[in-house]
Structure formats: structure tokens, C-alpha cells
Amino acid sequence: MSANMDMITAQGLGHRYRTAEGSEVQALQNVNLRVPRGQFVVIIGRNGSGKSTLAKHLNALLQPTEGRVLVNGIDTKDIERVWEVRQTAGMVFQNPDNQIVATTVEEDVAFGPENLGIPPADIRSRVRQSLLSVGMAEYAKHAPHLLSGGQKQRVAIAGILAMKPKCIILDEPTAMLDPSGREEVLQTVKKLNREGITVIHITHHMDEAVEADRVIVMDDGKVILDGSPREVFRHVDKLKAVGLNVPQITELAQQLRNAGVEIADDILTIDEMVASLCPSS
Ligand code: ADP
Ligand code: MG
């Protein structure tokens, strides 16, 4: 047991890609992070800012070219423990279709634990539990490719859950979904977090970030803001300078403030807007 009680630690993490043409891209630079167990972290940043590269370090799909990453106290450079890292921190990707590996939902969810060498009886109960957990139990015998995008992502999440992870990393899992699919996935992830799983959720939907414990903003391979949604979204100008929006309500509050309306500078929700504009209501 490690003395390090954080779920994830990145110390001076850097990543340089070498391209086929022989040039180098510094995708991450001196990233320092500590994510305590149970936290719900959202990572935002424009295209190419290094979010996916960071995510891949958190389950040892990439190795640091500088610094180091610990997952539940395990150094991701420890080759002998790579599978332990991947089981601890499972990853869900953007395109649900690329994550389907079997012809029925239950076989798909069983794939991960089968690869871990779990006994069959145990696998059946894990598959059942995981599908219940994401609200997809009644689809166990269905063909995954016929499901909606939101359902496919929930099956992908169940496949990770069946490996009993402590942490789930989601790299823009809602980017290809319609609003109702997005909502399904977001509610599922929030529920798992309430049940104790650490969540790292990469998204370009600012409204999803409002619901996190913590928002990390990346630009050009670096962490440029890191705090609660309220702290981070107060930096409207800085966010805009790196090509990001703020939640719609925050934007509206800023415009009202610029127009001379007396309103708090850290509005994140409609309720807060109403309370700030009509203190007596
Ligand atoms: P994001 O997920 O925020 O869009 P990425 O982590 O995918 O950002 O990319 C960060 C930077 O690294 C970008 O400049 C991107 O072009 C570059 N990059 C990503 N993957 C590779 C790769 N396999 N080879 C070379 N460069 C890469
Ligand atoms: Mg990406």
C-alpha cells in the first residue's frame, strides 16, 4: 500500500510526440496535478491543447517523456503493473462504435473481465451488476450496434465498471451524442461518482463542467486554470482568450454587468441569476 492517498498524481509531466516526419510536438508541458479519491474533475481546453494526451497518461496508454504519473500510487512507468493501472483507471472514448467488440451487449461488457482472467461465474455477476448500474440490464441480449449513441456509451461504461475500477476517465464521451444521449451519459457518470468512483471527464460542453467538483483548463499543453467551477468560470476573458466559452448563464450575467446591472460576478445557474437579480424573491 502506497503512502500516496491521491487517486492520480502528475509531477512535472511532459509529453513529446515524435511524428512520422521526424519532427517533435510538445503536447504536454510541466503538468502538476493531484486528484483526490472520489473527486469529479472536468477538463476543458480547445482542440490540440493536450487533453487526450493527458487522459492517455492516466491509464498508461502513453508513457511520460518528462516527469511521472502515479495512479492509485502506481507509477505508470512500472511495466509490470500496466494492467493494474488500466484496471484501476478505465477509459471511455469519444466514438461509441469504436468501442464495441462483441455481438451482444452482455458479451461486450464481459470482454474486459475475461481478459483479466476472472472466473466465468464471477464475470456473469459483474456483467449483470454493471448493466444494472448504467440502466442497461434489459438490453443484455441486444446487439450493441443497434443501440442509440447514449446507450452505446452506457454499455462502454458498463464494460469499464465490470473491471471494478476506482477511477473512470472519459475523453469527450458526449461529443457524438444528441442532447438526450448526452444527458443519459452525464447522469450515469454522476451516479457512479456519487457511489465513490473518481471521475475525469473531458468535454467541450461548458454546461457539463458546471456540475463538477473541479474544472481544469488546458491550453498549449499546460494547465492554465484549476479550481471549482465558480472560481474558473469567473475568468471569462482568460477563457475567451484561449478559445473557450463560459456557461450561457455566466455569459449573460457578464453582459448584464457590462450594461450596468448590479449582479454577482460568479453566476453559474439560472437559480443563482434569479437570486442575484431579485434578492427579495
Ligand atoms: P486535445 O485532446 O486537447 O485535442 P491532443 O492531446 O489530442 O489534444 O493533442 C495535443 C497535441 O499533440 C496537438 O498538437 C496534436 O496535434 C499533437 N498530437 C496528438 N497525438 C499525436 C500523435 N500521435 N503524433 C504527433 N502529434 C500528436
Ligand atoms: Mg482530444
Report the distance separating Cα 11 and Cα 34, nearest Å.
9
17 close to ligand 1 (CB < 6 Angstrom): yes
Rounded distance from Cα 47 to ligand 2 centre (Å): 7
Q: List pLDDT tens digits, range 222-251.
A: 999 999 999 999 998 899 999 998 888 998
pLDDT at 168 over 80: yes
Taking CA atoms only, the protein residue closest to ligand 1 atom 23 is 17
- Average pLDDT over all residues of the chain: 94
pLDDT for residue 1: 45
pLDDT at 3 over 50: no
52 close to ligand 1 (CB < 6 Angstrom): yes
Taking CA atoms only, the protein residue closest to ligand 1 atom 27 is 17
**Mean of pLDDT values over 202-213:** 92
Closest-lying ligand 1 atom to the alpha carbon of residue 172 = 2
pLDDT at 281 over 70: no
Delineate the domains of the chain, giving CATH numbers in brackets: 3-246 (3.40.50.300)
Check the CA dihedral 134-139-144-145 and report its sign: negative
Whose atoms come closest to the Cα of 43: which ligand?
1
Q: How much helix, strand and coil, in percent to the nearest 5, is found in the chain? A: 40, 25, 35
Q: List pLDDT tens digits, range 83-137.
A: 999 999 999 999 989 989 999 999 999 999 998 889 999 999 999 999 999 999 9
Report the distance separating Cα 274 and Cα 269, nearest Å.
9
Residues whose beta carbons lie less than 5 angstroms from ion ligand 2: 51-52
98 close to ligand 1 (CB < 6 Angstrom): no
Nearest C-alpha neighbor of 161 from the set 52, 88, 54 = 88
19 close to ligand 1 (CB < 6 Angstrom): yes
Nearest C-alpha neighbor of 152 from the set 116, 114, 184, 179 = 184
Contact partners, residue 121, CB within 8 Å, separation at least 6: none
14 close to ligand 1 (CB < 6 Angstrom): no
Taking CA atoms only, the protein residue closest to ligand 1 atom 16 is 48
The pLDDT-based confidence of 213 (bands split at 50, 70, 90) is very high
Taking CA atoms only, the protein residue closest to ligand 1 atom 5 is 50
Q: List pLDDT tens digits, range 59-70.
A: 999 999 999 999
Rounded distance from Cα 47 to ligand 1 centre (Å): 9
Closest-lying ligand 1 atom to the alpha carbon of residue 53 = 6
Give phi and psi for 53, each to the nearest 5.
-60, -45
Q: How many Cβ atoms from other residues are within 10 Å of residue 145's Cβ?
A: 11
pLDDT at 25 over 90: yes
50 close to ligand 1 (CB < 6 Angstrom): yes
